[in-house]
Every structure is written in structure tokens, then in C-alpha cells.
Amino acid sequence: MARIISTLFVLISSAVLFTQAAPAADAPLELIPDAPSRHVVVRGDTLWDLSKLYLKDPFRWPELWGFNKEQIKNPHWIYPGQVLVLDTINGRPRLSIEGGGSGGVPTVKLEPQVRITDQTQEIPAIPQQVIEPFLSQPLVVEEDALETAPRIVATENDNVICAQGDLVYVDREMSGPPRLWQVYRPGKAMKDPATGEVIGYEAVLLGTAKVVKQGIVASANKKGVPGTVRILTARQDIGKDDRLIVAPRLQIVNYTLHKPNGNVNSRVVSIYGDNEAGGNYSIIAITGGKKSGIEVGHVLALSRTGQEITDRYRGAKYDFALPNERYGLLYVFRTFEKVSYGLVMQASQSVMVGDTVETP
């Protein structure tokens, strides 16, 4: 039996289709020149690769499959060895799997043949190895979460630096079921380039830990006792004032390439690794997240923000705002309340902090 689970941890996992209706098309689907009528899926293909093989706008992939709101609830998994067939239905291009159909679209029956398919692993939406390290760690911590996170207030033997196996003490009783915790250090503030508002803090992952002894809540006539935590792994030195967050559970999240239903007006906040500029396959953070409707699987346009200029021959009365110039596409793979992270899938220019991110 085909296993319909792919491992793209999100906080971890998968790579095919997201349960959302395809956005209404505002223009006819445009195929690229010489789009193949048949394509054999091979190991290493991604949904992004396939969409670029057929479409000028990869984010319109669900339309090429003919998904509607009901059908996308039971999406098509695509495996190595399957054959994609391009056809025309009522004047519109449609893609389906040979012998299987997609989105309710019939396929042309070809001559009988035996084909071996690898149905143990669906193809991913984007290259998994690029984003896996970013799916299971706290990339950003919002201000309210920072205030409520357990904090290390003391260390065993008053050590300045703690490592694997050491005990630390946190300012909470740490009651509840056994959990794996991640130890992190709040990094630099992430500010909206347009407003200057602090929308979160970068989180530097230091290691993992587990509670070995619960503490006691302070009362009117009794001092509290901090929770005792043992460091399991240490990627960096750990010490006082570092914070803890519950490690995310392994869960399955399916997503495909899709355009947002509404208008997104966001900005690039940072480029991972403190880089000044990014390019293809760079990880970048943008303003806006779950709170503003940005979702995993959204494909967004990267644009150089148009400058405001004055016609020097006519004076300030003739100010102009140059249009934003689109130069690339971004795939959102992780969202927080006010911040989202994405992978730059294509860019003809360097990605810079402050660039515009919008609905393509």
C-alpha cells in the first residue's frame, strides 16, 4: 500500500498539496513554450520543478490541475515513475496523471503497459534539504512569548557556562507532562522596515533540555523552588537568562504552491545568517504572518520598492513614485503570528532588507 506520508518536518513535514481552493484566475493560464505533453516524474523532481516545466506563473499550479474547493480537500499525491499528461479541456490546459485523472479531469487511455512507480515517497513541493534545518527550531519569538518563556535563573555550582549533562534552574515550577524543551537566546529585534514596529526577536537555538524535578510555587509563607532542568544537547554555551520553549511536535502538514486569495503587502525583514543580500534558495523573514492571513504554501512576489523622485525641471509639485519592479518569487514554508519565513525560489536581482513582498 502506498504510504501517503512524506517527511518534511514542520514543524515538519511534507510536501504535497494544501487544502485550499485555487484562487480565481484573473488571466488565462499561460504555458511556457514547448511545454511537454507527457512527463515522467523522476526522483528529485519537486512540485516547483514541475510547475516551472509547464507554467509561466508557477503559483497557478492548482489551476492547471483543475482543483476546486471540494476536490482539493482530497489532493493528488505525485510519485516518481508516474506520467503527467497535458491536455486541453474546454479550451483550457489541464494536467493529469496517466490512467488516473486529476481534479475530475479524464485522461486519454494509452496503450497498456507495465510501469513501476515509487509510491513510498511523494515528491516534495520544494527542495526539502534546504529548509529542514529551519522547520524544527524557534526562528523567531514574539514579544509576549518572550515575557512568558521559562528563564534560567541559576546553574549547577554557579557555572557561568553550561554544557551537555549540566543542571540549570528555571523560574517556573515546570509542572505538567514530560516534554522536550529547546533552549534559546533572544537575538536582535526584528523591525518592520515600513513602520519601525518591533514584530519579534530572532531566536538563537542553543540546545535541548528536559525537566528532571518540578519546582514549587511560592506562597505567602513559603518561598518558591525553581524547576530543575538537565541540558541534553548544547550547540552553543548556555547560561543565566537563556530561555526555554517547548520543542514542536512532529506533525504532518501538506502544502502546494498557491497564490493568496487577498492582497499581501509585506516587506523583507531579514536575510538568514545576517547576510546583507540574498539570492536563489536564501531563507528570508518577512513582515506578516498568521494574523494577517499569510499561510504555508503561499507564493509571493519579491519586488524592488519604487523610489519617490522629483522632476527637477518642474519642482516638488511634480513628485513621482516609481512602480515596484518584480524580480523574483518566494515560497512561504513557516509562519508565526507577525512574521513568516520563506525560501527564495527565483530571483534576478539580490534580495535586500526592505524589499516589497506582495501578491503576484
Which CATH number characterizes residue 288's domain? 2.40.30.230
Of 3-12, 188-197, 318-327, 341-350, least confident by mean pLDDT is: 3-12
Q: How would you classify the pairing of strands 227-234 and 243-246?
A: unpaired
- Residue 254's pLDDT band (cuts 50, 70, 90): low
In DSSP terms, which residues pair with 168 in a beta bridge?
155, 229
Asked if residue 24 belongs to a domain, the reply is: no
Are residues 141 and 119 part of one domain? no
Residue of 269, 266, 302, 301 whose CA lies nearest to 284: 269
> What is the arithmetic mean of pLDDT over 113-137?
68
Pair 284, 271: CB distance under 8 Å = yes
Angstrom CA distances, 71 to 17, 65, 103, 119, stand at 11, 10, 6, 21
Give the whole-angstrom CA distance, residue 257 versus residue 331: 8
182-207: string of b/e by CB count within 10 Å (b at 16+)?
bbbbbbeebbbbeeeeebbbbbbbbb
Per-residue pLDDT for 72 more than 80?
no
Are residues 318 and 222 part of one domain? no
Angstrom CA distances, 62 to 83, 192, 282, 298, stand at 18, 32, 25, 12
Asked if residue 204 belongs to a domain, the reply is: yes
The residue type of 255 is: Y
SS3 content of the chain, % helix, strand, coil (to 5): 10, 35, 55
Residue finishing a domain among 107, 131, 155: 131
Are residues 310 and 272 part of one domain? yes
What digits encode the pLDDT tens for the residues 86-117? Answer: 888 887 888 888 865 444 333 433 343 434 44
Are residues 352 and 283 part of one domain? yes
Asked if residue 344 belongs to a domain, the reply is: yes
Residues in CB range of 281: below 8 A, 6 or more apart: 127, 130, 343, 344, 345
Q: What is the mean pLDDT of the chain?
A: 79
Pair 139, 184: CB distance under 8 Å = no
Pair 191, 197: CB distance under 8 Å = yes
Please tell me what DSSP assigns to residue 277: E
Pair 80, 42: CB distance under 8 Å = yes
Residue with cell 499525491: 77
Asked if residue 89 belongs to a domain, the reply is: yes
Asked if residue 254 belongs to a domain, the reply is: no
Phi, then psi, of 350 in degrees rounded to 5: -70, 140
Residue finishing a domain among 131, 153, 171: 131
What digits encode the pLDDT tens for the residues 306-327? Answer: 777 776 666 556 677 777 789 9
Pair 233, 190: CB distance under 8 Å = no
228 lies in which domain range?
137-246
Which pTM value belongs to this model? 0.76
Of 171-175, 201-205, 236-240, 256-260, least confident by mean pLDDT is: 256-260
Residue finishing a domain among 76, 108, 131: 131
| Cα four-point dihedral sign 172, 173, 177, 181 | positive
Residue of 82, 81, 63 whose CA lies nearest to 72: 63
More confident residue, 57 or 118: 57
Are residues 241 and 141 part of one domain? yes
Residue with cell 540549570: 168
Give one DSSP letter per residue of 145-179, joined into a string.
HHHHS-BEEEEGGG-SSB-TT-EEEESS---SS--
Does residue 352 sit in helix, strand or coil?
strand
Give the whole-angstrom CA distance, residue 344 versus residue 329: 6
Pair 303, 327: CB distance under 8 Å = yes
Asked if residue 1 belongs to a domain, the reply is: no
What digits encode the pLDDT tens for the residues 262-289? Answer: 899 999 999 988 788 999 999 999 999 9
Are residues 141 and 200 part of one domain? yes
Are residues 280 and 183 part of one domain? no
Q: What pLDDT score does 148 carry? A: 86
**What's the domain count of the chain?**
3
**Cell representation of residue 142:** 514574539
In DSSP terms, which residues pair with 234 in a beta bridge?
207
Are residues 119 and 57 part of one domain? yes
> What is the arithmetic mean of pLDDT over 238-243?
94
Give the whole-angstrom CA distance, residue 43 versus residue 58: 20
